[in-house]
Amino acid sequence: MKPINAAVVDLKQLDLLADGDSSIHTLDSRAKVLVTLVFIVSVVSFDRYEIIRLLPFFVYPAVIIVLASLPPLYIARKIALVSPFIIMVGLFNPLFDRDVLYQIGQVEISGGWTSLFSLLTRSLLTVSAAFILVGTTGFTAVCQALQRLGTPQIFTVQLLFLHRYILVLADETDRASRARELRSCGKKGLGVTSFGSLTGHLLLRTWLQADRIHTAMLARGFTGRFHVSRQSCFGANELLYLLGWSLLFISLRTATLSDTIGALFS
């Protein structure tokens, strides 16, 4: 019960971080969404063998985490949960791409290992940017920003409902696990055979709970519009934030590492 309860609390904490009052939190959500989009496009557009030129991009998540006072260990744990799936995607690269690209002393580094580390680096950057966006904006505000930027309303509403359903599923899983533990008096209950019916009841209960939530939303006049706790407008600060980071990302993408280091020191 405790691990599931801790997982539910951990799942909700990312949205709770968006209630901060830092200079990053108070920016208009559209500016943060656009900066994240430019960052992700810049990172994923690199060649599959590129690693060194990706390293300067870690400046963005590091600076935002400090300015927004986000807990770095919490963000690191979230990224660590995704890392095994990323490694599985490129796990077989060293087996199929054995051409030697670099040689450090007697150590030969093939293209497969290089592409694997490049994939891992790009994934860490993009995943951290996504977590930082939600942690400084809130998922509802992100959906509202996407809709105000021209994304079809049906897509943003479905995205928001998916997020809400995951939270409902997590809550119902916590309740079902607590009830199972109490009925088994601290033992393992009926064992593995009970998980089939437990899963079926869990999906049925979450479906009914989600339907009741939707009915309550319609009764309160929900029409697909988003209502966020913090209202903001796109002003000078947002424009400077967008242009500053976008120019930096484009410069890091188009310039070589030697040019970038020389520009930083000069």
- Tens-place pLDDT, residues 76-131: 888 888 888 877 877 777 777 677 766 677 776 777 778 888 888 999 999 999 99
Residue 88 shares a structural domain with residue 66: yes
Residue 265 within a domain:
no
Residue 193: pLDDT band by 50, 70, 90 thresholds? low
Domain with 247, as residue range(s), is 1-151+230-259
d(CA 185, CA 248): 59
Residue 266 within a domain:
no
Residue 141 shares a structural domain with residue 83: yes
Residue 131 shares a structural domain with residue 240: yes
Residue 22, pLDDT score: 87
Name the residue among 70, 76, 26, 37 with its Cα closest to residue 245: 37
Residue 130 shares a structural domain with residue 12: yes
Residue 32, pLDDT score: 93
